[in-house]
Structure 1
């Protein structure tokens, strides 16, 4: 690969990325119901993209299931957790019988998308802006470090059959960047340094989310989940890492305690 072709998508990715970060950080900073609406919109669009990839012959099904998923996760964020649980699984149950193909994949991934969206809302509501920024920045650092290390260093591929561009150098660089960010946030918050391995685990979870989405695209025979974001493809392409990270912290936070070394209110 020539040096020029290696970086030919960088400018478009950077422009789109800056816009995404600016909008995303603004919504994260505002929090509350505005943040919930943004998450509901993202969830709905991701489900729309998922259905479109798996079962593109049915014109109305992606839109109906996307809207239903967005409404369900938005409602789940405003009710008690006990009531939220069936709401988060309802789109999977609603849609599995509507799919002419890929029903099991749809039901499984839609449930994960819904839980991840709910996890992000809960994380922002329960832990505040500082720890929401930590989660977002760990995922961003993983992605950015992986992109540049993979292109500058190259080397053995991580899983070439599913994701031919991903390398072990980029994967490990993502872990290192996440660990460094965890150390910085631990120092800034007086949390203990258990935040470092937890940040690395979040990085791994985000990479698994990315790989899982790549497997779906490979199965569907598409390059991108949609063309909504120039240089990045669709929302599923851009938020697959956050999907894995948010789902992981929703579960891991109940096991290891979060934030590590600080009272839950911190």
Structure 2
């Protein structure tokens, strides 16, 4: 949720003024996203590619380039193509948007290229995760991120307390961070019997929550450096797609790594 978690109990009466547009737009995005996840196939590949392309466009705009639309479009197209081309043949397309951006950026070229590569990789990774493990696993992943987001938001606003990283995310508190971890663990516990897996799913869910929060904080740091409050104004109450999907990106990249170092999915005994 990037910069929208609560601070202390001493806040103005308008601290909940953004709640209604957040709930409406967040609900619509969640409905569209979960529907795309459930249907899978080319529809989910298109959804993930559009999201990745829009995020790269927002990132390019924050970096002040005049070719942000071109870079965002290239990222989206490459993400879609690598998702439908036979596995292995399209992998160079994951890196192409990053290389194309190097000569087009006026500042922070290397960091932009790295983030662009991560965003496109995350979009492609989500499609592969859906294909490899099925819709229910993707719903679990999305619910972990949503629970982290929602419980972190309310936990931070209601409990307050020490700030997590005031210079970058001044409204994010440790209370909100911890509430996010607990809620993610509960999501893992709820999904445990439906996914037919071992109890490790609870700790994996907490780790994904942490990765989601790191994605959130990283996006906050990018915005802080760029001097903007929101990545764009496409989503009422949330800002832009980067503001809304930063946690999903972090969780997706982490899950791609988890697959390589632990037995995933964890088998029930």
Match of 1:6 among 15, 18, 23: 15
Q: Deviations over 1:160-189 (max 9, x none)?
A: 000111100000000000001111111222
Deviation at 1:126, TM superposition (A): 0.7
| CA distance in 2 between partners of 1:37 and 1:68 (Å) | 14
How does the TM-score come out when normalised to structure 1? 0.95
Report the equivalent of 2:180.
174
Q: CA RMSD in A?
A: 1.3
The equivalent of 2:4 in structure 1 is none
Closer, same or farther in 2 for the Cα pair 1:150/1:31, shift >3 Å? same
| Pairwise CA distance, 1:143 | 0.3
Match for 2:140 among 134, 141, 145? Answer: 134
Equivalent residues of 1:55, 1:102 under 8 A apart: no
Structure 1: unaligned runs, 5 residues or longer: none
Tell me if the contact between 2:162 and 2:174 (Cα under 8 Å) persists in the aligned partners.
yes
Give per-residue Cα distances to partners, 1:12-35, cap 9 Å, x unaligned.
Answer: 111111111111111111110000
Runs (4+) of structure 1 moved beyond 6 Å?
A: none
User: 75, 94, 99: which is aligned to 1:69?
Assistant: 75
Q: What is the aligned partner in structure 1 of residue 38 from structure 2?
A: 29
How far off is 1:262 after superposition?
A: 5.6
Q: Is the 8 A contact 2:82 2:93 kept in 1?
A: yes
CA distance in 2, matches of 1:207, 1:142: 8
1:3 CA displacement: 5.3
- Cα distance in 1 for partners of 2:41, 2:91 equals 20
Please state if 1:187 is matched with 2:193: yes
Report the Cα offset of residue 253 of structure 1: 1.2
SS of alignment partner, residue 83 of structure 1: coil
Greater alpha carbon shift after TM alignment, 242-251 vs 77-86: 77-86
Verify: 1:49 aligned to 2:58, yes or no: yes
Partner of 1:85: 91
Give, in whole Å, the separation in 2 of the partners of 1:98 and 1:256. 39
TM-score with structure 2 setting the length: 0.94
Q: Which runs of 5+ in 2 are unaligned?
A: 1-9
Determine the C-alpha separation between the residues in 2 that align with 1:2 and 1:212. Answer: 26
Partners in 1 of 2:102 and 2:191 — Cα distance? 42
Matched residues, number: 260
Which residue matches 1:240? 246
Number of the residue aligned with 1:18: 27
Q: Is the 8 A contact 2:160 2:175 kept in 1?
A: yes
SS at match of 1:84: coil
3-state secondary structure, aligned to 1:166: strand
The one of the two structures with greater contact order (alpha-carbon pairs below 8 A, sep at least 6) is 2
Relative to structure 2, which stretch is displaced further, 218-227 or 92-101? 92-101
Cα offset, 1:81, TM superposition:
3.7
2:5: which partner in 1?
none
User: Could you tell me which of 99, 103, 107 is aligned with 1:101?
Assistant: 107
Instruction: Give the whole-Å Cα distance in 2 for the aligned partners of 1:198 and 1:16.
Output: 28
Deviation (angstroms), 1:190: 2.4
| Aligned residues of 1:186 and 1:193 also touching (Cα < 8 A) | yes
The partner residue of 2:131 within 125, 131, 137 is 125
Segment drifting more, 198-207 vs 83-92: 83-92
Alpha-carbon distance in structure 2 between the residues aligned to 1:79 and 1:169 = 45
Within 2, Cα distance between the matches of 1:116 and 1:27? 16
Q: Tell me the distance in 1 between the aligned counterparts of 2:221 and 2:11.
A: 27
Structure 1 residues 78 and 94, CA, compared in 2 at 3 Å: closer, same or farther?
Answer: same
